[in-house]
Amino acid sequence: MRKLLLHPLAKPLLFAVALLPCATLLAAVLQHTLGPNPAETLIRSLGDWTLRFLCLTLAITPLRQWTNVAALARFRRMLGLFTAFYALLHFSSYAVFDMGLVWDDIVRDVAKRPFILVGTTALLLMLPLAATSFNRAVRWLGPARWQRLHRLVYAIALLAILHFFWMRAGKRNFGEVAVYGAIIAVLLGWRLYKATRGTRYFMKLGSQSAKG
Amino acid sequence: MLLPQDRGFSHAIASEITPQNVFQTRRALLASLAVSGAFGARRAFAQTTAARPLPATRSTVPGALTMEKPTPLADVTGYNNYYEFGTDKSDPARHAQALKTRPWTVSIEGEVKKPATFGIDDLLKLAPMEERIYRLRCVEGWSMVIPWVGYSLSELIKRVEPTGNAKFVQFVTLADRAQMTGLSSSVLDWPYVEGLRIDEAMQPLTLLAFGLYGQVLPNQNGAPLRLVVPWKYGFKSGKSLVKIRFVEQQPATSWSRAAPEEYGFYSNVNPSVDHPRWSQATERRLGDGDLFAKKRPTLMFNGYEAQVGSLYAGMDLKKWF
């Protein structure tokens, strides 16, 4: 398993697989097979894929810790960048196909509709993370500051699920929202659990040394 | 209020007016569309028996025949809001085949001199079938053009002789757990109910529809009979009707009960009154097929202002949304 993950072709393969949804949608656009409301289908599919890649990105660290397979970390950056890629496509297709790229209307729509405001905020928060994803950015910022910045992804995840929840609220159709919500809850909950347990551990150490 | 003169139709865009020679061959065009559409909708129709024709003559009611291009049959029968069969647009085409549309009765109750229960065959013969091509505007911001078959609801209303107390009409639709997969969800209180003011119900454009594209209504479109009120958002037009009740007080309606801030009793198509969560100024016409097609401006009363505007003279339509 570790050998497979460390294989030189593992990353290019993941890259190709991650492009498949985009390629499939592009083919459907060209062949006019997106159904009666092609704009709606395209925008929603891209939103679904953003959410899926976000879950995959957030799953890397817990999986690494549960399985002790350090090699998984190699793929975290690429998955994060694909999340931002699909989020950008999602927003762009909304801006072009739903709003006709009329910026006045887009600004008014973002302000008027809470669920769009929340989604747009999540996208804007992703941009600094995508922009500081390369190795040299880590050096520039210093690992501690870089990590603090990239904890924004937790806020992004919560905004993304709220965006999805509000979008579905019109029809009270919460089945899929519950699935993604549960996945994100487990992935963030695990981190919270680790963090609080860690604090208690250090507090115990501190009190022991004070006694000593 | 100054109302435009009723010339039988109203158009925003001159290029959409059909040339006369095309208009005169529209039946052949419709038939060919129906055939090509039927192939596209194979999946939708897969479990039905062959489509049954429902002959009709061209309607003479003012405004009843828009000359805009009809939405392909595959889209009309494959993209539906019919929550009793699921909330996804493709659910009704998949699940509505379970609906048995015969035997079927519609009971007429309340403030009428002649309450009655009509069988579907009596209703089919009650008045001559007319072909009417209406715009349909959904509250969600999309629209279609559909060639319906049916007759004015007023034909039925006249037979049952409403009393002076009949100020409103309530429409009750089928809610049968055994046949309708979507009823287990709590999206709405079942059965789905809708209502009109009696003068709205008597307006000749208010259609009791039994078919579309020259055929008996497909189940997912509200078989065996449904209402079509073309100047109101689509949800006002109840499907698979089982009861029509004449009442004195404004009746409860499903969506205004579920979300009173968002859906009013009137729900007339109005580009200047936004839904709380989105604009109603424009709409996406389905069947343009083109991802890059621009949205079109939504028309006051869905383009039927000349015919129905007078029903609302003096009313503040922002208040009575």
**pLDDT score of B35:** 46
Cα–Cα distance, B123 to B130 (Å, whole number): 14
pLDDT at B220 over 70: yes
Backbone angles phi, psi at A141, to 5 degrees: -80, -25
In this structure, are residues A39 and A75 in contact, taking their beta carbons and an 8 Å threshold?
no
**pLDDT score of A3:** 83
| B78 found inside a domain | yes
| B6 found inside a domain | no
Mean pLDDT for A179-200 is 90
Question: Residue B79's domain spans which residues?
Answer: 14-312
Q: At what angle do helices A38-67 and A76-93 cross, to 10 degrees?
A: 160
Which residue out of B183, B235, B291, B295 would a mutagenesis test of the A interface target, given it has the greatest number of A Cβ atoms within 10 Å? Answer: B291
**pLDDT score of B65:** 97
Banded model confidence at residue B193, pLDDT cuts 50, 70, 90: very high
| B182 found inside a domain | yes
HSE value, Cβ hemisphere, 13 Å, CA-based, for A185? 7
pTM of the model: 0.82
Cα–Cα distance, B262 to B252 (Å, whole number): 15
pLDDT at B15 over 90: no
A175 touches chain B (CB under 8 A): no
**pLDDT score of A179:** 97
| B123 found inside a domain | yes
Banded model confidence at residue B3, pLDDT cuts 50, 70, 90: very low
Mean pLDDT for B211-225 is 97
> Closest partner residue to B291 among A39, A112, A113, by Cβ?
A39
Residues of chain B above pLDDT 90, percent:
76
Banded model confidence at residue B25, pLDDT cuts 50, 70, 90: low
| B22 found inside a domain | yes
* Nearest CA among B208, B161, B150, B177 for reference residue B85: B177
Cα–Cα distance, A19 to A13 (Å, whole number): 10
Mean pLDDT for B81-89 is 93
Which residue out of A173, A174, A177 would a mutagenesis test of the B interface target, given it has the greatest number of B Cβ atoms within 10 Å? Answer: A173
Cα–Cα distance, A47 to A38 (Å, whole number): 14
Banded model confidence at residue B39, pLDDT cuts 50, 70, 90: very low
Mean pLDDT for A116-133 is 97
> In the A/B pair of chains, how many CB contacts fall below 8 A?
48
Mean pLDDT for A161-179 is 89
Contact flag B89-A37 (C-beta cutoff 8 Å): yes
pLDDT in tens, B139-159: 999 999 999 999 999 999 999
| B321 found inside a domain | no
Mean pLDDT for A151-166 is 97
Q: Are strands B130-137 and B57-58 parallel, antiparallel or unpaired?
A: parallel
Banded model confidence at residue A1, pLDDT cuts 50, 70, 90: confident
| B265 found inside a domain | yes
Q: Would you call B149 exposed, middle or buried from its count of C-beta atoms within 10 A (0-12, 13-18, 19+)?
A: buried
| B276 found inside a domain | yes
**pLDDT score of B14:** 52
Task: Mark residue B70 as left, alpha or beta (left: phi above 0; alpha: psi -120 to 50; beta: remaining).
Answer: beta
- Mean pLDDT across chain A, nearest whole number? 91
**pLDDT score of B186:** 76
Banded model confidence at residue B7, pLDDT cuts 50, 70, 90: very low
> Closest partner residue to A37 among B142, B292, B294, by Cβ?
B142
Domain total in chain B: 1
Mean pLDDT for B28-37 is 51
**pLDDT score of B51:** 80
3-state secondary structure of B215: strand
Q: Are strands B226-228 and B282-285 parallel, antiparallel or unpaired?
A: unpaired
Contact flag B277-A113 (C-beta cutoff 8 Å): yes
pLDDT at B252 over 50: yes
Cα–Cα distance, B179 to B242 (Å, whole number): 15
Which of these ranges, B29-43, B130-144, B202-216, has the smallest mean pLDDT?
Answer: B29-43
**Residue B144: enclosing H or E segment and its boundaries?**
strand B142-152
- Among chain A residues, CA nearest to B141: A98
**pLDDT score of B38:** 45
A38 touches chain B (CB under 8 A): yes
pLDDT in tens, B294-312: 889 999 999 999 999 999 9
Contact flag A39-B289 (C-beta cutoff 8 Å): no
The amino acid that residue B162 corresponds to is P
pLDDT in tens, A61-80: 999 999 999 999 999 999 99
For residue B83, CA distances in Å to A37, B80, B88, B183, B255 come to 18, 9, 8, 8, 12
Banded model confidence at residue B29, pLDDT cuts 50, 70, 90: low
For residue A130, CA distances in Å to A78, A134, B74, B136 come to 10, 8, 42, 44
**pLDDT score of A60:** 97
Banded model confidence at residue B292, pLDDT cuts 50, 70, 90: confident
Chain B residues lying within 8 Å of A32, measured CB to CB: 289
- Mean pLDDT across chain B, nearest whole number? 88
Contact flag A172-B286 (C-beta cutoff 8 Å): no
Torsion of CA A92, A96, A98, A103, to 10 degrees: 90
Cα–Cα distance, B3 to B204 (Å, whole number): 18
Cα–Cα distance, B321 to B40 (Å, whole number): 37
pLDDT in tens, B123-140: 999 999 999 999 999 999
**pLDDT score of A134:** 93
Contact flag A172-B185 (C-beta cutoff 8 Å): yes
Cα–Cα distance, A46 to A84 (Å, whole number): 11
A207 touches chain B (CB under 8 A): no
Banded model confidence at residue B290, pLDDT cuts 50, 70, 90: confident
Q: Which residue has the tokens 């005169």?
A: B24
User: A143 or B9: which carries more pLDDT confidence?
Assistant: A143
What is chain B's alpha carbon radius of gyration, rounded to the nearest angstrom? 19
User: A169 or A50: which carries more pLDDT confidence?
Assistant: A50
Residues B114-131 as b/e (b if ≥16 CB within 10 A, e otherwise) read: eeeebebeebbeebebbb
DSSP 8-state class, residue B97: G
**Residue B295: enclosing H or E segment and its boundaries?**
none
* Nearest CA among A15, A173, A112 for reference residue B277: A112
Q: At what angle do helices A175-211 and A152-169 cross, to 10 degrees?
A: 150
Q: What is the CATH number of the domain that holds B278?
A: 3.90.420.10
HSE value, Cβ hemisphere, 13 Å, CA-based, for B88? 11
* Number of C-beta neighbours around residue A15 at 10 A: 13
Banded model confidence at residue B96, pLDDT cuts 50, 70, 90: very high
Q: At what angle do helices A76-93 and A114-131 cross, to 10 degrees?
A: 140
**pLDDT score of B50:** 58
CA B189 to mean position of chain CA atoms: 21
pLDDT at B48 over 60: no
Task: Mark residue B141 as left, alpha or beta (left: phi above 0; alpha: psi -120 to 50; beta: remaining).
Answer: left
